[in-house]
Structure formats: structure tokens, C-alpha cells
């Protein structure tokens, strides 16, 4: 919803020295969800998933990125995550994390922490964009 009503230019606008843009935040959140649910829970490597290796790279935009494409990728990642965990109890142990096993409950809490963190960034960026 952070991108609703914005132009493509507004979604790409850089307002801070880092690569953090509204598009970048949504691309990173999509990457993060895929890492936790497809790699950690699903056991598929980032390389096999076609994901960049680290979080900093996940903010980078391509010329082909549009509000529609970035939003669709996020929705797809959410649907894939829901399907991956549909029948799993919170105490299920998942083994795809590179530092060792985690419970699904731990993964949920990590994803929620990340989402809250980045939603705050997105709110601030959107407020700045709309003020100009």
C-alpha cells in the first residue's frame, strides 16, 4: 500500500544517501521473505532461487522494475510463503538456515521484526515524497 497513488518516479526517488527507496524497500522485503520462507523453511539455496546473496544487493533497482512488477513479486513471495508453511506447527524445526536449525516460530518473529522495521522506513519515505 506504500506505493499506492505514487508515480514510478516517486517510487524510485532517493531521499537518503543509501540505496533505500520505496521500490528498494519493497524489493528488499520480498527478498527477505523469500530467504526466510523459501531458503530457511523450504531448504532451497539462494542461488537456486535466483536471489542475490546479501541484503544490501536486494535494495538495488533495475530499469525494468515498475510498481506493478515489484508489487506482483511481493504478492507472489507472500503466496509462496503461505503455501510453504500452511500445515506446519509453530514448533516445527526448519533446517535451511545457514547458521543452523530454527523453529518456525523463530522465523515468524524474525520476519515480523524485519517487516516492522522496514514499514517504518517506508512510512517516512512516503511522507517525504508526498511533502514535495
What are the backbone angles phi and psi of residue 103, rounded to the nearest 5°? -85, 155
CA 35 to chain centre: 9
pTM of the predicted structure, to 2 decimals: 0.92
Element (H, E) at 103: strand 102-103
Amino acid 99: pLDDT: 85
Q: How far apart are CA 66 and CA 59, in angstroms?
A: 14
Amino acid 98: pLDDT: 84
Amino acid 97: pLDDT: 86
Amino acid 18: pLDDT: 86
Task: List the end-to-end C-alpha distance of the chain, in Å, as a whole number.
Answer: 19
- Mean pLDDT in each 10-residue stretch from start to end of the chain (132 residues)? 90 90 95 96 94 94 94 96 95 92 96 94 92 83
Amino acid 2: pLDDT: 84
Amino acid 12: pLDDT: 94
Amino acid 57: pLDDT: 94
Amino acid 126: pLDDT: 93
Cβ contacts of 97 within 8 Å, gap of 6 or more: 39, 40
Amino acid 6: pLDDT: 94
Amino acid at each position: 500500500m506504500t506505493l499506492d497513488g505514487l508515480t514510478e518516479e516517486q517510487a524510485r526517488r532517493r531521499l537518503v544517501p543509501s540505496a533505500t527507496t520505496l521500490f528498494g524497500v519493497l524489493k528488499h522485503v520480498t527478498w527477505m521473505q523469500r530467504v526466510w520462507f523459501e531458503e530457511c523453511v523450504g531448504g532451497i539455496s539462494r542461488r537456486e532461487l535466483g536471489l542475490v546473496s546479501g541484503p544490501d544487493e536486494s535494495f538495488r533497482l533495475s530499469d525494468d522494475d515498475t510498481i506493478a512488477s515489484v508489487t506482483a513479486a511481493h504478492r507472489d513471495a507472500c503466496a509462496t510463503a503461505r503455501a510453504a508453511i500452511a500445515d506446519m506447527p509453530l514448533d516445527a524445526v526448519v533446517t535451511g538456515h545457514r547458521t543452523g536449525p530454527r523453529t518456525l516460530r523463530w522465523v515468524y518473529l524474525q520476519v515480523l521484526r524485519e517487516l516492522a522495521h522496514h514499514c517504518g522506513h517506508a512510512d517516512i519515505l512516503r511522507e517525504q515524497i508526498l511533502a514535495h
